[in-house]
Amino acid sequence: MGRYADMDGDLQRLPEGFQRIGYDADTSVYTFSGPDGKTYESEPGNRFGKLWPVGEPRPQRSDADIEAANAAIDEDNESALRTMLPFALLILVFMILVFKLAVMRFKSVRARPVRQRSRRDSVESFLKPEKGRVDSFVQVEKNKEYD
């Protein structure tokens, strides 16, 4: 249930004696009957608001009114941009750091010399005992043979 559920009906929103009698979907205009028997129309797109008698010309908006509305829209756009700017800055800094770390990682991997080893080198180094170690497997085996 909405916050202002008690103000959703026509009885609460319309002036005394007014009743909604129709809606034109093509023009988005509501039609109302007044207490004096005349019919009234709302502004296009507005369910409630100013009501104008049918058949009478509505006052046109002046250039100053239109400029004021456009200025308000521009101000809202600038306000939204100012609100989003800190988040965009955080995302930009994060992306720069990720890129910088990726480049540093790539350079460090590339800078290390890669020693090409053949299969024979790896087998020989596995079988060869380490120099200077008395307890190597080969030395122990040789000692067993002579004992």
H or E stretch including 11? Answer: helix 10-13
**Is residue 90 in some structural domain?**
no
Cβ proximity of 50 and 66 under 8 Å: no
**Is residue 111 in some structural domain?**
no
Cβ proximity of 30 and 42 under 8 Å: yes
**Is residue 10 in some structural domain?**
yes
Please state the pTM of the whole predicted model.
0.41
Q: What pLDDT is stored for residue 96 in this prediction?
A: 96
Closest CA to 53 of 66, 35, 71, 80: 35
**Is residue 121 in some structural domain?**
no
Domain range holding 13?
A: 5-53
Cβ proximity of 33 and 39 under 8 Å: yes
**Is residue 23 in some structural domain?**
yes
**Is residue 9 in some structural domain?**
yes
**Is residue 44 in some structural domain?**
yes
Assigned token pair, 145: 């043979």
**Is residue 59 in some structural domain?**
no
What domain count does the chain have?
Answer: 1
pLDDT tens for each residue of 41-96: 988 888 778 888 898 887 788 899 889 988 888 888 888 888 899 999 999 999 99
Cβ proximity of 24 and 31 under 8 Å: yes
H or E stretch including 24? Answer: strand 19-24
Residue 134, pLDDT > 60, answer no
